């Protein structure tokens, strides 16, 4: 049941991050939205524990997971804009 809860919260955090930060090169689809939210949650948990907001046995809350997803989305856009990674929504470049 815990993994299902992580996927649901990750999906909702990913959707909210995509709504708050619309753009042409958003990762789209259910899987990438869930990965965006879960990645944001891991990032927020790591940073929160590093600066002392959370104990080692605590995780990020929903709001900080959404903020973390916004940061992950920002990093995604910078990597795609700088042509470091290719945009999965666009076909191969010839």
Q: What digits encode the pLDDT tens for the residues 48-93?
A: 889 988 888 777 788 888 898 899 888 888 887 677 766 665 655 5
Separation between Cα atoms, residue 45 and residue 6, nearest integer Å: 13
Separation between Cα atoms, residue 25 and residue 76, nearest integer Å: 9
Separation between Cα atoms, residue 42 and residue 60, nearest integer Å: 8
pTM above 0.95, yes or no: no
Mean pLDDT in residue range 11-28? 79
For residue 39, pLDDT beyond 70: yes
For the ranges 8-12, 24-28, 50-54, 55-59, the lowest mean pLDDT is seen at 24-28
- Band of residue 44 on the pLDDT scale cut at 50, 70, 90: confident
Could you give the count of Cα atoms lying within 13 Å of 3 in the half-sphere of its Cβ? 0
């Amino acid at each position: 049941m815990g993994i299902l809860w992580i996927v649901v919260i990750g999906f909702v955090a990913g959707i909210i991050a995509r709504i708050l930060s619309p753009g042409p090169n958003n990762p789209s689809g259910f899987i990438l939205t869930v990965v965006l939210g879960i990645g944001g949650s891991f990032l927020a948990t790591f940073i929160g524990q590093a600066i002392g907001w959370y104990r080692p046995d605590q995780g990020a809350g929903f709001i900080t997971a959404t903020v973390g997803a916004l940061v992950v989305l920002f990093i995604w856009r910078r990597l795609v804009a700088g042509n470091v990674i290719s945009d999965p929504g666009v076909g191969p470049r010839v």
